[in-house]
């Protein structure tokens, strides 16, 4: 088998037989998104390192409290989904996942953007919505290939200038934070579809000024129209 889905509302651990499938590429242990179920697995075992050919690992909507350091040995991993768990931190070894391009961490208990994430040079999609993240490290600028960054429902009071160096960003969601202003260079994120595509960028739920003068002075005219449209 190269693809395996394990399901059941009583799922509490990975069956040991799985670790003998050394050619496995896709392992899914998540309930269907529409079902609103949550599995009971609290820990990924260290033996996950035996699945060296994994490219996709789906473990959303469990009760994971910790990710083992051995996750860093999965050098072929391209997609990892950990949303809807109970994670408060990530192991530094995750920085070794240099083929990872999609990472889902929404609805956990993270209070900061873990440093290892900023080492993932191939990352194009990062979702850390609905955590308690209050700051973004300046090292985020290393994610030079990042195209989608979802930061909804966090505790951000400011956005570092370094985010504006992510010139390939096409989607940036900042809704429902505590942002009062944006960096002066924010208008240089020219790949965002200002005002014409709601899915490209949104700021709703923030106490931003209308319109932010430091942005309007440098960014395209569409920025002014966008902010004015929802502050009227």
Tens of pLDDT along 151-182?
A: 999 999 999 999 999 999 999 999 999 998 88
Tens of pLDDT along 103-137?
A: 999 999 999 998 899 999 999 999 999 999 999 99
> Coil, strand, or helix at residue 146?
coil
Confidence of residue 229 (pLDDT cuts 50, 70, 90): low
Predicted TM-score (pTM) of the model is: 0.89
Average pLDDT over residues 34-54: 88
Q: How far is CA 67 from the centre of its chain?
A: 16
Average pLDDT over residues 39-46: 91
Taking alpha carbons only, the member of 95, 39, 100 closest to residue 64 is 39
With b meaning 16 or more CB within 10 Å and e meaning fewer, what string describes 7-36?
eeeebeebeeebbebeebbbbbbbbeeeee
Tens of pLDDT along 52-110?
A: 999 999 999 999 999 999 999 999 999 999 999 999 999 999 999 999 999 999 999 99
Q: State how far the Cα of 151 lies from the Cα of 131, in Å rounded to an integer.
A: 9
pLDDT at 190: 81
pLDDT at residue 228 greater than cutoff 80: no
Instruction: Return phi, psi of residue 79, to 5°.
Output: -140, 130
Determine contact, residues 39/61, Cβ cutoff 8 Å: yes
Tens of pLDDT along 200-223?
A: 777 888 888 766 655 655 555 666
First to last CA, the chain: 57
The number of C-alpha atoms within 13 Å of 94 and in the hemisphere containing its C-beta is 23
Confidence of residue 141 (pLDDT cuts 50, 70, 90): very high
């Amino acid at each position: 088998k190269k693809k395996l889905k394990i399901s059941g509302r009583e799922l509490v651990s990975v069956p040991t037989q799985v670790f003998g499938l050394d050619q496995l590429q896709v392992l899914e242990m998540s309930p269907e998104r529409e079902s609103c179920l949550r599995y009971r697995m609290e820990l990924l075992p260290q033996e996950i390192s035996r699945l060296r050919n994994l490219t996709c690992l789906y473990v959303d909507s469990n009760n994971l409290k910790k990710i083992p350091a051995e996750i860093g040995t999965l050098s072929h991993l391209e997609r990892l989904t950990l949303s809807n768990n109970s994670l408060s931190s990530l192991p530094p070894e995750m920085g070794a996942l240099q083929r990872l391009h999609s990472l889902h961490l929404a609805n956990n208990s993270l209070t900061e953007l873990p440093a290892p994430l900023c080492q993932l040079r191939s990352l194009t999609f990062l979702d850390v919505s609905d955590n308690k993240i209050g700051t973004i490290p300046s090292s985020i600028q290393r994610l030079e290939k990042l195209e989608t960054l979802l930061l909804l429902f966090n505790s951000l009071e400011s956005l570092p200038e370094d985010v504006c160096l992510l010139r390939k960003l096409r989607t940036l969601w900042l809704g429902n934070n505590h942002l009062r202003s944006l960096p002066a260079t924010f208008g240089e994120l020219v790949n965002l579809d200002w005002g014409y595509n709601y899915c490209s960028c949104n700021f709703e739920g923030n106490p931003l000024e209308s319109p932010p003068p430091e942005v309007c002075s440098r960014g395209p005219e569409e920025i002014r129209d966008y902010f004015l449209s929802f502050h009227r």
